[in-house]
Amino acid sequence: MASALILGVNGQDGSYLAECLLTRGFAVLGVGRQAASRWVEAPGFRYAAIDLADAMALDELLVAEKPDEIYHLAAVHGPAGYPYEAIWQSALAVNLGALHVCLEHIRTRAKLSRLFYASSVKVFGENPPAVIDEETPRVSDCLYGITKNAAFDLVRYYRARYDVWGSVGIFSNHDFLSTGRKNWLEHRIGNRHDESDGAD
């Protein structure tokens, strides 16, 4: 049975990914900083509470679990204009340092493992162009963007230098399930209904 490690499983994207992989027959280990899994409870799923700023703890987990696929979806981030100076060390450790631990694990111990890193449209600056492709210049104009662009380059370096299987996905802003996953659709439909009721 193929195994997957999801860093940031308690987030929206991480929890949906876990459920998707479970339906495909993967054994899934989710990692979050909270004491327990927030959304996913299913056969084939396990949870580990780890602070990803703790590089040694993450490395020990990788050695013990030997996952076939690693999904780095965790991030220290905030809303637009957020001042990252006060949490720079945490952002650096989670957004970049934990990625480096995973890449080194693959390079030195698990050459057949694959890694996916979730990046952000913020790598193109605070006001990205409407159309983005592989040739769009990246711009680091906030500390969060700096960590994400450095991560992008780190994955590219390990691919070119060590033939590590790593890929980066650019995520844009999308709805967050602040009201809970189970009633999110109803919440969205209700909002649309309220808006239409107020229209002339």
Residue 79's pLDDT is 79
Between CA 53 and CA 70 the distance in angstroms is 17
Q: Which residues pair with 169 in a beta bridge?
A: 118
Domain ranges for the chain: 3-197
Enumerate the H helices of 27-131 as residue ranges: 55-65, 88-92, 98-109
Question: What CATH code is assigned to 3-197?
Answer: 3.40.50.720
pTM: 0.86
Encode the chain (200 residues) as per-residue pLDDT tens digits: 999 999 999 999 999 999 999 999 999 999 999 999 999 999 999 999 999 999 999 999 999 999 999 999 999 988 777 888 999 999 999 999 999 999 999 999 999 999 999 999 989 988 888 898 889 999 999 999 999 999 999 999 999 999 999 999 998 876 555 445 554 444 444 444 344 344 43
Q: Is 156 in contact with 119 (CB distance < 8 Å)?
A: no
